[in-house]
Chains A and B, each alone.
Chain A
Amino acid sequence: MQDKQLLLDIQGITKRFGNLVANDRIGLQLQEGEILALLGENGAGKTTLMNILFGHYVADEGSITVSGIPLQPGSPREALKAGLGMVHQHFTLAENMTVLDNIMLGTESMFSFGRKDGRAREKIRRLCDQYELDVDHRSLVKHLSVGQRQRVEILKALYRDTRILILDEPTAVLTPQESDHLFATLQLLVEKGLAVIFITHKLREVVAASDRCVVLRHGRVTYTSVTAETSIDVLAREMVGGEIPEVRRPPVQSGANLLKLDTITVSDPHHYTLLDNLSLTVNSGEIIGIAGVSGNGQTHLADLISGLITPNSGTLCLHGSEVKKFSPQDMIHHGVGRIPEDRTGTGLIGDMTVKENLALENYTRSPFSRFGLLNFKALSHRTREITSCYDVRCGGPDSAARNMSGGNMQKLILGRVLSENPTVIIANQPTWGLDVGATAFVHRQLIEASRNGAGVIVISEDLDELFTVADFIHVMYKGTLSERIRPADTSARDLGLAMSGQRSVLHSVSLKEVQS
């Protein structure tokens, strides 16, 4: 390692936002041919550091050197020129353009007439061969799979002669198999002399794919180690800054049927099938996990059970009686508790107070309003009850919901939903972006609700989460659901295959029970 060139040298970076120190004297070195994993919970300062690196923010203190040359702060253009390239978690591709157009976008001079397609095509072909990236530069981005799009993003960075490639949560949208493919690509890249930083919170991947890892906590580098000399347990402890809260799941005792979806089909206005002949049964006391790569219909399934969309055909029964009218209020009335995917966008109204946010689903009912007049006393009383019961940290019932942290927002939504004692709970990505403590809290609450007799559906892209909470798992693929699977009968690997359409690897519960 000694003879390798130091590509990136970050020294004493400090960045303050008001009273908050987002980055506190961060030092980080990256050598040629190295894969570095940057770990940390949400709010640990990873994003701030990357924004400083790419010139979106200017650090209050500290310096950055790339390949021995100081990087001019506050200039994204300089950062790109110095050889920094980034692949964002949410891709920045124009879907209606070809791969070639996307890659060339922004690299051409504004003043040169005519496009130099030939040279670009040649370079892309060379890069594809060199790094075994199989992408056809002529295809439209909208026709590509998620994994292929990610390869286009990588190509885009390589086309600009990137020497340091940074990937933000690159595996969040990939199946385990696609992740392996990605790691193989990264390995090839570093063998040719590049350096890679990948940002993640999935510890298994760190151990599988990185040479060295750095843990950020509260804006500081708290732990650095060569990956081979550390373990998942150590990393987890370092990330959380203490012991990881344990989530216990008592054995499942299925009770009466609560929710039954029978051959439900949902199409969009353009007759594109979103949910395809889908059936699902949820019984009292069960937690049903829905696994799948995002965009396979999970959102529509959640919307359906939330009363936001009406099926084109098929039936939905709650407590044995068929639901005819699909509206949020009807579903709430039938005892459905809905925890939406986007907590700031759909779950809460940031500009309204905590009190007003808690009233959103029941403000028309006594005692919260009478004769069209709101009863603020009753609202405040309920708010205090919920905030203490669900450990919501906020500036009081009259503070704006916008000022809360993500974890507290989710606890507020949980409180709003669970305090109504729903019999069916649909939770879409309930722990997305939450820290370990808040995640464990959400899991415990969902498990408690199910063991008190509710039927819970958890939609998640995080297989670890499903293995933690779910009694049964269904895999969602192109609007269809697999059979019911017991987590004990399967593995992340098999689920991954099923998530990409290969259902045959799964052993469904019914099949298993027939055999035994």
Chain B
Amino acid sequence: MRLEPRENISLLHRAMVPVGAALVALLVCSVLIVWAGASPFEALLLFIKGSVGSKFAVSETLTRTIPLIFTGLAAAVAFRAKLWNIGAEGQLYAGACIATWLGTGLIDLPGWLMLPLLFAAGAVAGGLLLLGPTMLKNWLAVDEVVTTLLLNFIVLLFVNWLVFGPWKDPMAMGWPQAAPVVDSAILEPLIAKTRLHWGLVIGLVAALCVWLVMRYTTWGYEIRAVGCNRKASTFVGIPVNSVIIRTALISGGLAGCAGVSELCGLKGYLTLDLSPGFGYSGIVVAMLAALHPIGVVFSALFIAMLSIGADSMSRSLNISNYIADVATAVSLLAVLVSMLLTRYRIRWR
């Protein structure tokens, strides 16, 4: 079996990549469902019903999409510059921590000022958290995969200490959670009587902004150049180290925004289950989107559908909800393989 590069890659061919990957993921999951003792057709039906079958289902799916857009963008921007930021989870919590610190009584401003301030503060916190590993990478060539990954655990343990210790809300009946944010710091629901909040609009605007920056500005051009070929970028005089630091601040900032949006839009207070691994899912989202900022919106929606649908299905059929995790993993693998197959064809012999 050999791989040969394809000469011309048509648009149709490129468009087929996510579709084909999704189909393969569905197929593999059907096998698992049969194995778990349920009918795959019934499961698929319940899956669709649970993710997009009602107003409630759609609103839940869209609510889940919001943090994934932010963390997906964070990964997409960083990976474009070949800065392997695996620490979006920690940056998310860093953003949520700052927003909790500012938003639970330290300051109280009108909502139109309070929310931008909290988002800005969260972005700064996320950005700064990624700055350390980036400096170490630039100056001492320390692998950022290791440092950002380990920082996740440090931040999580720090949050753990906060919500069990100094920030523990005495009104929370002993639950490990911080005090709720003040009213002016709450992101209003987008549709009444659902959990869907204005974070979706902010996420979509962020995606649009990231796309415009990457596509039309010298900043985006530098990020892409550094990511594609660091040696050539150095040769032509692009300030590689500052480009990478800039990228880190943008990427960490976006992940920090995910934390603020979850805190102010969904939970209202800081807990340890603020994010069930949105930082890591963001990597999947970004890869599925082939690192395209607008694509991130759609792949975030896809992953959200997958997890909400699988949750609902597994509850109704009484099978394990780990099937959602498997489906996510399979779809990532399928996309990576199909991305390879757009550029190469397989020849047997």
Contact = CB atoms under 8 A, between A and B. Distances in A.
A10 to B, nearest CB: 20
Contacts of A328: 234-237
Nearest to B220: A374
Given A345-B231, A372-B217, A374-B218, A361 B236 contact: yes
A515 to B, nearest CB: 43
Contacts of A338: 235
A49 B244 CA distance: 43
B120 to A, nearest CB: 21
Interface string B15-40: 00000000000000000000000000
Interface centre among B216, B218, B349 (most CB of A within 10 A): B218
Interface of B, secondary structure class, is helix
28 contacts: A17-B4, A18-B5, A18-B6, A18-B7, A19-B7, A306-B235, A328-B234, A328-B235, A328-B237, A338-B235, A345-B231, A346-B232, A346-B235, A349-B233, A350-B228, A350-B229, A351-B228, A356-B224, A360-B232, A361-B236, A361-B237, A363-B218, A364-B218, A372-B217, A373-B217, A373-B218, A374-B217, A374-B221
A347 interface: yes
A361 B16 CA distance: 37
Contacts of B6: 18
B233 A347 contact: no
B232 A374 contact: no
A347 B221 contact: no
B158 interface: no
A370 to B, nearest CB: 10
A179 to B, nearest CB: 32
B135 to A, nearest CB: 20
B175 interface: no
A329 B234 CA distance: 10
Contacts of B237: 307, 327-329, 332, 361
B248 interface: no
Nearest to B236: A360
B216 A373 contact: yes
B4 A349 contact: no
A58 B235 contact: no
Interface of A, secondary structure class, is loop
Contacts of B231: 345-346
Nearest to A364: B218
A17 B235 CA distance: 33
A308 B234 contact: yes
Given A352-B225, A360-B232, 17 more contacts: A18-B4, A18-B6, A308-B235, A327-B237, A329-B237, A346-B231, A346-B235, A347-B232, A349-B232, A352-B228, A359-B221, A360-B233, A361-B236, A361-B237, A372-B219, A374-B217, A374-B218
A340 interface: yes
Contacts of A374: 216-218, 221
Interface in B197-254: 216-219, 221, 224-225, 228-229, 231-238
Nearest to A369: B218
Interface in A322-360: 327-329, 332, 338, 340, 345-352, 356, 359-360
B229 A351 contact: yes
Instruction: Name the 6 nearest CB pairs between A and B, nearest first.
Output: A328-B237, A329-B237, A360-B236, A349-B229, A351-B228, A346-B235
A65 B218 CA distance: 58
A347 B224 contact: no
A331 to B, nearest CB: 8
A363 B349 contact: no
B225 A360 contact: yes
A348 B235 CA distance: 10
A394 to B, nearest CB: 14
Nearest to B224: A352
A329 B237 CA distance: 5
A72 to B, nearest CB: 14
Contacts of B216: 373-374
B217 A349 contact: no
Contacts of A373: 216-218
Contacts of B238: 360
Given A18-B6, A58-B349, A349 B235 contact: no
B236 A345 contact: no
Contacts of A369: 218
A361 B6 CA distance: 31
A58 B221 CA distance: 41
B188 to A, nearest CB: 34
A345 B229 contact: yes
A352 B223 CA distance: 12
Contacts of A307: 237
Nearest to B222: A363
Nearest to A60: B349
Interface centre among A307, A329, A352, A359 (most CB of B within 10 A): A352
B14 to A, nearest CB: 14
Interface centre among B218, B234, B235, B238 (most CB of A within 10 A): B235
B216 to A, nearest CB: 6
Contacts of B219: 372
Contact of B221 (A19, A306, A361, A363): A363
Given A349-B225, A360-B225, A340 B4 contact: no
A380 to B, nearest CB: 14
Contacts of A332: 237
A368 to B, nearest CB: 9
Interface centre among A58, A340, A351, A360 (most CB of B within 10 A): A360
A345 B228 CA distance: 10
